[in-house]
Amino acid sequence: MAEIKLVVLDWAGTTIDFGCLAPSGAFVAAFATKGVTVTLPEARGPMGLHKKDHIRAMLRTDAVGGKWRAAVGRDWTEADVEDLYRDVTPRQVEAAVTYSELIPGAREAVAAVRAAGIKVAATTGYFHEAAAAVAGAAKRQGYEPDFNICADDVPAGRPAPWMIFRCMEALGVYPPAAVLKVGDTVIDIEDGRNAGCWSVGVIDSSNEMGLSADELRALPPAELAARREVITERYKQAGAHAAINDLGGLPALIADLNAKLARGERP
């Protein structure tokens, strides 16, 4: 083994939904029904987790937990998590359909990867209904991974590595050094590292950047460069092997990783 055989891609913020806009808005709306006003950055913080774990992670923060106590008059409970999750679910499905456009260059990047004989899988923190919605929308736009799995299909979602391991098993690829995980959150980086594979963050369309394509284009060049630098450092602090501005950088990245593997380097 001296080359990458499988690329595992995230969905929202990586291959669809530029800026990862769908999930965050659903959380803000769900909390608002309880009288709790959360900001988009607060909603984005735990992105990449299973959505029920995402709610727990938000409530465990001092900021959101404090707002909950102020609005509801008590600490949150698991019953509250279940209630919020029931509210979030239809909102997320609706938002996932609304923000289901493929990120520019994603289809071409996948085609280039496949032309090199590399398999493509997809993982997500979405639950079944939302995952099915985005997969269907992507297929209609010409992107269909060789294997697709969501957080509901494994004992624990990210940062546990089980979704990546299931992709490897289903597509017959091993060892982990032959696998490249690409995502747009710190949690994506962590599950890639926990799986023992190469783990890389995408920047411009990411949850970490949090901007629509139009908003990104409107940034002055110096500010864009500064934001990219901050996000790259955030990924590397989480253990990322590299960061790329967009999926157009995948072929060159894979060539670089193949050269490392040929020299005996491993994740």
Residue type, 121: A
b/e map of 35-73 (b: 16 or more CB within 10 Å)?
ebebeeebbbbbbbbbbbbbbbbbbeeeebeebbeeeee
Annotated catalytic residue, options 10, 17, 87, 246: 10
Q: Are 119 and 5 in contact (CB under 8 A)?
A: yes
User: Three-state DSSP class for 71?
Assistant: helix
Annotated catalytic residue, options 5, 17, 51, 53: 51
Which residues does 203 contact at the CB level (< 8 Å), separation at least 6?
184, 209, 228, 231, 232, 243, 244, 245, 246
Q: Are 205 and 14 in contact (CB under 8 A)?
A: yes
Nearest partner of 61 among 40, 41, 80, 42, judged by Cα: 42
Q: Are 77 and 65 in contact (CB under 8 A)?
A: no
Check if 10 is active-site.
yes
Q: How far is CA 149 from the centre of its chain?
A: 13
CA angle (226 as vertex; 182, 10 as ends), nearest 5: 15
Give the residue numbers annotated as catalytic, written as ranges: 10, 51
